Amino acid sequence: MTAALTDLSLQEASARLAARQVSSAELTEACLARIAATDARVGAFLAVSAEVARAQAAEADARIAAGARRGPLDGVPVALKDLFLTKGIATTAASRILEGYVPPYDGTVTARLRAAGAVLLGKLNLDEFAMGSSNENSAFKPCRNPWDLSRTPGGSSGGSAAALAARQCYGTMGTDTGGSIRLPASFCGVVGLRPTYGRVSRYGVVAFASSLDQPGPLGRTVWDAAAMLQAVAGRDEKDLTSATRPVDDYLGGLEGGARGLRVGVPREWFQGGVDAGVEQAVRAALATYEKLGATLVEISLPHTKYGIGAYYLVATAEASSNLARYDGVRFGLRAEEARGLKEMYSETRERGFGAEPKRRIMLGTYALSAGYYDAYYLRAQKVRTLIRRDFDAAFERCDVVAGPVAPSPAFKLGEKVDDPLQMYLADIFTITCNLAALPGLSVPCGQAGGLPVGLQLVGRPFDEAGMLRAARALERELGPAPLPALEA
């Protein structure tokens, strides 16, 4: 056992647990030590639940000793974006308005991971209410990119990607409303999957934009992400927007390769503004697919450029309503000194929300307000249909759409904070997938200027298995993705 335990993939750690070469307690302590040694610099964790983790590890070790291991995640230390409700463990959405809030219930993803035996190390940093692309909108602290601490890990699930790159845990969960899993995965050089809308329950995940949000896994390898998805996917009676169709076996067909795969390459994803290094890495990945027996098909997604506009109307409208419950009445922050009721509301929300949530609440309230609904919200929802039709047409000719995740690699902290629109444009390639309710993933495909670059794959509805197989084919060919040094 030469390599440090924390360098193992989830798959390797899980195999060693199964073979009883290592205990869950050892893995847990190794992760806690790694967090202690690195997280002051990275800032991936908002809270470390060491006690809970140690207790869960002990239970997992007992099961394993009794030959009753529950599955590949049993005994494996993982962490959750701090948007997932965890009973008895503070859940803040990285917002002052929820600072110190301890939920009385577990969300469905949380419950399913517990049931799978996973060990919960803590809650991960994010942009406040998942609103952002750089994690700089966290009300508590920024998260940094383990590859270059002066750069962002991407957002909004920045902590979920950074914690993996920093080898602080073996798997994480994030949420993806406009690219919030894929962008950080790409910036940090890990695998991140946004499932089809409805594949993973949203119950017990703090809502940002209900028709776009989707929880999904991140891992250091494709197998790791697939194993996490397997544990949480599937119908949930508590979420009527969760799909009833049976869950595929994501691990079984993972090594199926890419022979015969038709890879659609959208013209619009390479036009203008894409960093040369990023384009080079992506083109190389596409060439690799050809080498593996796949065929490249040029396709067009003509409505791509309308994605940002449609997204910022739909997402903010839904957010303005979803964030109305933060009113200081039943939980969270309250402006105590406020005299009247109305003052209490306005003062609480003014103080509790950061600039980005306020900006989006304002935009969304405006888009829904009397006289503007048809021109903004309704039109945007119609544009979604046009964007979905682009993909439907493309999938007549290809099995998966491939291109860059973002126009550039990880950018510098502070680079875009003063220009919201520029920040929004970082999502230009990821956002159409959310609007079309499709699955998308980011898999490491090389580097640009010493920074990781991810290849984005967008698949047919509920074809997560096919996308993971395609991603695994590339990963096997390129070899394990490199990890940043980040000395302890």
Query: Which residues does the annotation mark as catalytic?
Result: 81, 156, 180
Six-digit token string for 68:
């009753």
| Residue 324 DSSP class | G
Write the single-letter amino acid at 207: A
Of positions 363, 405, 443, 470, contacts other proteins by CB under 8 A: 363
Identity of residue 482? P
Give the residue, chosen from 20, 41, 245, 412, that forms a contact with other proteins under the rule CB under 8 A: 245
In the set 149, 296, 386, 478, which binds other proteins (CB under 8 A)?
386
Helix, strand, coil proportions of the chain in percent (round to 5)?
40, 15, 45
271 near other proteins, rule: CB under 8 A = no
CA 221/CA 233 separation, integer angstroms: 18
Total chain residues near other proteins (CB under 8 A)? 97
Binding region for other proteins (CB under 8 A) out of 149-157, 273-281, 382-390, 397-405 = 382-390
Residue 391 token pair: 């993909």
Phi, psi of 86 (to 5 degrees): -130, 115
| φ, ψ for residue 114, nearest 5 deg | -60, -45
Nearest-approach distance from CB 172 to other proteins, in angstroms: 18
Q: Are 275 and 409 in contact (CB under 8 A)?
A: yes
421 binds other proteins (CB under 8 A): yes
The count of other CB atoms within 10 Å of the CB of residue 471 is 27
Which one, 150 or 385, has the nearer CB to other proteins? 385
Q: Residue 420 interacts with other proteins (CB under 8 A)? A: yes
Question: Which region among 64-72, 148-156, 236-244, 275-283 touches other proteins (by CB under 8 A)?
Answer: 236-244
Q: Which residue spans within 142-212 are E strands per DSSP? A: 171-175, 191-194
Q: Give residues 277-336 in contact with other proteins (rule: CB under 8 A).
A: 303, 305-306, 308-310, 312-313, 317-318, 320-321, 323-325, 327-334, 336
Is 40 a residue that touches other proteins (CB under 8 A)? no
Give the N- to C-terminal CA distance of the chain in Å, as an integer: 19
- Encoded one letter per residue, x for contact with other proteins by CB under 8 A and - for no contact, window 62-91 reads -----------------------x-----x
Nearer to other proteins, 54 or 351 (CB): 351
Q: Is 247 in the site for other proteins (CB under 8 A)?
A: no
Tell me the two tokens of residue 244.
Answer: 């009833």
Which of 98, 162, 164, 467: binder of other proteins (CB under 8 A)?
A: 98
Q: Which of 137, 242, 432, 456 binds other proteins (CB under 8 A)?
A: 242
Residues 190-219 that bind other proteins (CB under 8 A): 197-198, 202-207, 210-212
Comparison of 100 and 450: residue with beta carbon closer to other proteins: 100
The CA-atom distances, in angstroms, between 52 and each of 18, 303, 310, 346 are: 22, 47, 42, 37
Q: For other proteins, which is the closer residue by CB, 44 or 209? A: 209
Residue ranges with strand state E in 4-116: 45-48, 77-81
Looking at residues 99 to 118 of the shown chain, list those that interact with other proteins (rule: CB under 8 A).
101-105, 107
Q: Of the candidates 76, 401, 165, which has an alpha carbon nearest to the alpha carbon of residue 270?
A: 401
